[in-house]
Structure 1
């Protein structure tokens, strides 16, 4: 199940005979998705780490198709909700409906009861609807009336938002964005990749075969849980989070005026969990510093609350995090002996 380094994927018609189930899933999804290797890798990291993903990108970058293809490859159920300003919480989680023949109220479950939920253009719905996802994302359950209903396992929420439109949109509350394990920024494909996209569009769409089932995915999650994380790497994740709150501690006094609130403690947890899943995807039984540094931007960029001065000076969360990463000492690789 050894994975090539990021940016070094060479996809053929079939995976090698030695490929593990995770790599076979990636090969199957790549039948319909050209490029977007980082997005697909992050989706699998979120699945294995039991997290959720917020994806930001302009329209037409196959965000929806990526989630749908992944759901077909793992044999899971897939639901899509198009968020609009007139959406109400009951449209997401469900509600109680009066059944006239019996004279009783019956629970009608919403689209969140699925394995993979795509919340398309989540920032087009008001805060009340966005907050309806808080319980199900954190607790994996929905409360309707006095009854609590568990969602299927595994469960992943992938939300998308369009960064170029602001009319008719609502900014996500901080409590909502903090529930997402990662925020992935998707860019345009290369010229070669876009040529392949157009070429595939002229032919018959590929049929995605089921590679594993949800039960197998749950087993892979348990295997990822056994990946060893050295305490020095946990300390490294904590130091990164603290450095975003107090940049002056690592000699970045000039960044203090740009950060109103740093990354929450949930970011340290998410970084370690995601790093453990990434190590598993890359075929290791232990985490190395590169697993954490590769994911640091995705895990922390949406958790920084920047000041108005940062906006006026065009200083982004990624710029701040890159400076923090450059100034926090990276521990020596550990765990190779296990």
Structure 2
């Protein structure tokens, strides 16, 4: 691989180049998804279809497909594996909404609100099982190891986040550990498996892993910033969900650290669940903006975004690389 430098730029980039790049492959992936979510138990495809067809951009499977394009893979194994990646992601969303008690997902009522918690958990388990069927059918122990490890790491990250909730003493290092596990691990695995099926050198595996991991961290940092600067219509979830759930996201960590005694007392009460009204959330927004906590969270996202772009700097230029670079820029620009 030869070195090349591309700087993260400002502006309003789009996912359109990535979506256009993988459109044909994505049609094949969607065929696998629709086929494998079927069951003789009608509730399973009904509930799974509610979330899978709920307007998500399918970022993770698109990363598998675009990574394969970047390295010139021309086979079809990655179609089923991209579907496995999407099933893992969808299963974690179903479980997350139960744990968080969420009412909205991508602007629609969550499955747990419509069908109840037990059904959401069990259908999530079904989708996890389907993902492992697809991995086994691929036949690569390396792919199986990468995706099964990512699944375990995601679960660890969710448990870590659960035990960190309502605790004001959570610092930036633990926060980064949480998002690195619950979000970035699957981004990294989704990219890396493309190099495995293409039988590319380990250096290219590591480069794609680093691209996905850093993109995933940037993506989550922006998500956490958006909770304090956007509304339900833009976010696809209730504004202030993280605040009311007592999550120590980076905007809160920074605002708390920079606050005076009264502000720090407010944050302690809020995180521990004693300040959760709409007025309290409005006050929290004032504090995170005044302390520049949101600005600095987005700046961190840009840093990780640049690391993602740098990770694929050694690959040759072309349509795939340009689309993957713009996908990073899109992930960061969502905060503007």
TM-score by length of 2: 0.33
Q: Which structure has the higher relative contact order (CA within 8 Å, separation 6+)? A: 2
**Greater strand fraction, Structure 1 or Structure 2:** 1
TM-score by length of 1: 0.33
**Greater helix fraction, Structure 1 or Structure 2:** 2
